[in-house]
Amino acid sequence: MGEKVLATLHVNDLALLSQDRIFNLQGLKPKLPKCFNDILLHFSAGTPVFYDSATELYDDLAGCVAQVYG
């Protein structure tokens, strides 16, 4: 990654459990649909919201797939 990109990253953009992984991909991949990035943000270090169940994650992911791929 370029130094410009790395300079824009914050601790909140990293994975909750593994600080060597980036979960806020919006700055790195601007064409990534927002709904997919929002799902990833549930697992980032800076998230105020967590999934309460696998069903909740599934519902968000299914809705995003339907939105993006029709």
Q: What are the tens digits of pLDDT across the range 36-55?
A: 999 999 999 989 989 999 99
What is the tens place of the pLDDT at every residue in 13-39? 899 888 788 889 988 888 999 999 999
Range of the domain at 49: 3-69
SS3 category, 67 = helix
What's the predicted TM-score (pTM) here? 0.81
Q: CA 34, CA 15: separation in Å to the nearest integer?
A: 17
Domain count within the chain? 1
Q: Which amino acid is at 66?
A: A
Neighbours of 13 (CB within 10 A): 20
pLDDT at 26: 87
How far is residue 40's CA from residue 22's CA, in Å, rounded to a whole number?
9
Which is nearest to 39 in space by CA: 21, 23, 19? Answer: 23
2 vs 49 pLDDT, higher one: 49
pLDDT band at 9; cut points 50, 70, 90: confident
